[in-house]
Amino acid sequence: MKLFDVYPLFDVNIVKGEGCRVWDDRGQEYLDLYGGHAVISIGHCHPHYINKVGEQMGRLGFYSNSVINKLQAELAGRLGRISGYDDYQLFLINSGAEANENALKLASFSNGRTRILSAEKAFHGRTSLAVEATANPNIIAPVNANGHVTYLPLNDLAAWEAELQKGDVCACIIECIQGVGGIKLATEEFAQGLQAACRRNGTVLICDEIQCGYGRSGKFFAHQWLGIRPDIITVAKGIANGFPVGAVLISPEFTPKYGQLGTTFGGNHLACAAALAVLDVMESSDLVENARHTGEYLMTRLKDLQQSQPHITDVRGRGLMIGIELDIPQKPIRERLVYEQHVFTGCTGTNLLRLLPPLCFTEDMADEFIEKLTNVL
Ligand SMILES: Cc1ncc(COP(=O)(O)O)c(C=O)c1O
């Protein structure tokens, strides 16, 4: 059988990782400012993570959601405390798309409505309603184009308010820092105005923190920079450092009903052990604060580079989620970074390099990256 060929691949076979570095099968080392697409939060192969996941694997990898799993309750308690959402409820699944799918279902169960507002350039995943909320017609299959979603420009509060006033909107879903959309930041004024308009009109506000959350922005959640408290928050990616876990944080306004949501694999013992180990390391190594100050350092160095490097037209982001906009296509730059300089970065669109390193990234690594980017530019 052949693989279903949907991914354009770099000609590199990564076989080993440690911290913010990975190695290919020929022993070549790479600096990782991509983190396997913002997934590696505490660093590759962290020893505490390996121990905790290994120990759990030796004890019990999986049992179903039909019995008590104390690791889930422990994770809910720890996550509530560290994120500032102690009073919220946790529902565990396996991916980001599933998190958004369940968040939107829950919103619709709660207010009986079917219309969704989403931002232009948003990315919310590839399952049925999550993909419909994703403003990219190329990945919405005809069966998913069900007319539930109106796309509006991020930060155009008047446009969102006008739709909300109609009184039929089930949920608004936003990324406070758009990832795939090109590191576009929601403003404080927009976020606070949107929250107020949602409350006035009985609409559920969902913040998709799958890429920008879990410490990456330099606060636990990116929306915490904006002074809002959404009704539902979705997370995935960094939550378990590569073990597939997604989660929905749900306000106390929602009352759970048996059978309303469910999953076979979600919240399994191994997944919880991985997610708990991530929280251990995030706390003991103060990784949210590290993302904030190392991110600021990297951003400052990039802005300095912009002064001498005319191909850089903009540098924007928060914490360790940074976009470098170029006046030339990013593809050859990104390829030369990998093949010549041995650095992985992300990208989006034709002109933007997207930096999403592990949250343990250091200032020395930032200097190393600046040197290598300068070589290529
Ligand atoms: C903001 C955002 N939401 C949702 C998703 C979908 O997550 P997953 O690929 O785990 O389904 C992604 C993935 O890139 C994302 O960046």
| Mean pLDDT, rounded, for 356-376 | 98
Closest Cα to atom 8, ligand 1: which residue? Answer: 96
Domain with CATH 3.90.1150.10 in the chain: 286-376
User: 231: Cβ below 6 Å to ligand 1?
Assistant: no
pLDDT (tens digit per residue) in 260-299: 999 999 999 999 999 999 999 999 999 999 999 999 999 9
- Ligand 1 site, residue 39, Cβ cutoff 6 A: no
Comparing CA positions, the residue from 298, 307, 245, 297 lying closest to residue 270 is 245
State the average pLDDT for the chain.
Answer: 98
Question: How many angstroms separate the alpha carbon of residue 299 from the centre of ligand 1?
Answer: 24
**How is domain 286-376 classified at the architecture level of CATH?**
Alpha-Beta Complex (3.90)
Chain segment 309-333, per-residue pLDDT in tens:
999 999 999 999 999 999 999 999 9
pLDDT value of position 335: 98
Residues 182/149, Cβ–Cβ less than 8 Å: no
Task: Determine what percent of the chain is predicted with pLDDT higher than 70.
Answer: 100
SS (H, E, C) the chain: CCCCCCCCCCCCCEEEEEECEEEECCCCEEEEECHHHHCCCCCECCHHHHHHHHHHHHHCCCCCCCCCCHHHHHHHHHHHHHHCCCCCEEEEECCHHHHHHHHHHHHHHHHCCCEEEEECCCCCCCCHHHHHCCCCHHHCCHHHCCCCEEEECCCCHHHHHHHHCCCCEEEEEECCEECCCCCEECCHHHHHHHHHHHHHCCCEEEEECCCCCCCCCCCCCHHHHCCCCCCEEEECHHHHECECCEEEEECCCCCCCCCCCCCCCCCCHHHHHHHHHHHHHHHHCCHHHHHHHHHHHHHHHHHHHHHHCCCEEEEEEECCEEEEEECCCHHHHHHHHHHCCCEEEEEECCCEEEECCCCCCCHHHHHHHHHHHHHHC
Calculate how far, in angstroms, residue 235's C-alpha sits from the geometric centre of ligand 1: 9
CA 210 to centroid of ligand 1, rounded, Å: 6
pLDDT at 93: 98
16 confidence band (pLDDT: 50, 70, 90): very high
Task: Give 29's pLDDT tier (boundaries 50, 70, 90).
Answer: very high
- For ligand 1, whether the C-beta of 354 sits within 6 Å is no
Q: Which of 41, 118, 124 to mutate to test the pocket of ligand 1 (most atoms within 8 A of CB)?
A: 124
Tell me how far apart the alpha carbons of residues 360 and 293 are, in angstroms, rounded to a whole number: 11
Burial readout 21-41 (b: 16 or more C-beta within 10 A, e: otherwise): bbbbeeeeebbbbbbbebbbb
Confidence category of residue 99, pLDDT binned at 50, 70, 90 = very high
Q: What is the pLDDT of residue 293?
A: 98
Is-contact 273 243, C-beta < 8 A?
Answer: no
Answer yes or no: is the C-beta of 184 below 6 A from any ligand 1 atom: no
The whole-model pTM stands at: 0.98
Nearest CA to ligand 1 atom 16: 211
% of the chain residues with pLDDT over 90: 100
**CA 237 – ligand 1 centroid, Å:** 7
Q: Which of 134, 185, 211, 221 has most ligand 1 atoms within 8 Å of its beta carbon, as the pocket-test mutant?
A: 211
Pick from 160, 173, 170, 176: nearest CA to 228:
176
Tokens of 153: 């420009």
Q: What's the gap in Å between 26 CA and the centre of ligand 1?
A: 31
pLDDT at 228: 98
pLDDT of residue 21: 98
CATH 3.40.640.10 residue ranges for the chain: 48-284
The alpha carbon of 368 and the centre of ligand 1 are apart by a number of angstroms equal to 29
Give me ligand 1 centre to Cα 316, in Å. 20
Yes or no: say if 349 and 182 are a contact pair by the CB < 8 Å rule. Answer: yes
Mean pLDDT value of segment 28-57: 98
Residue 161's pLDDT band, with cuts at 50, 70 and 90, is very high
- 179 ligand 1 Cβ < 6 A: yes
C-beta of 235 in contact with ligand 1 (< 6 A): no
Q: According to the model, what pLDDT value does residue 292 have? A: 98
Pocket-testing residue among 101, 210, 223, 248, ligand 1, by greatest number of atoms within 8 A of Cβ: 210
- Topology of domain 48-284, per CATH? Aspartate Aminotransferase; domain 2 (3.40.640)
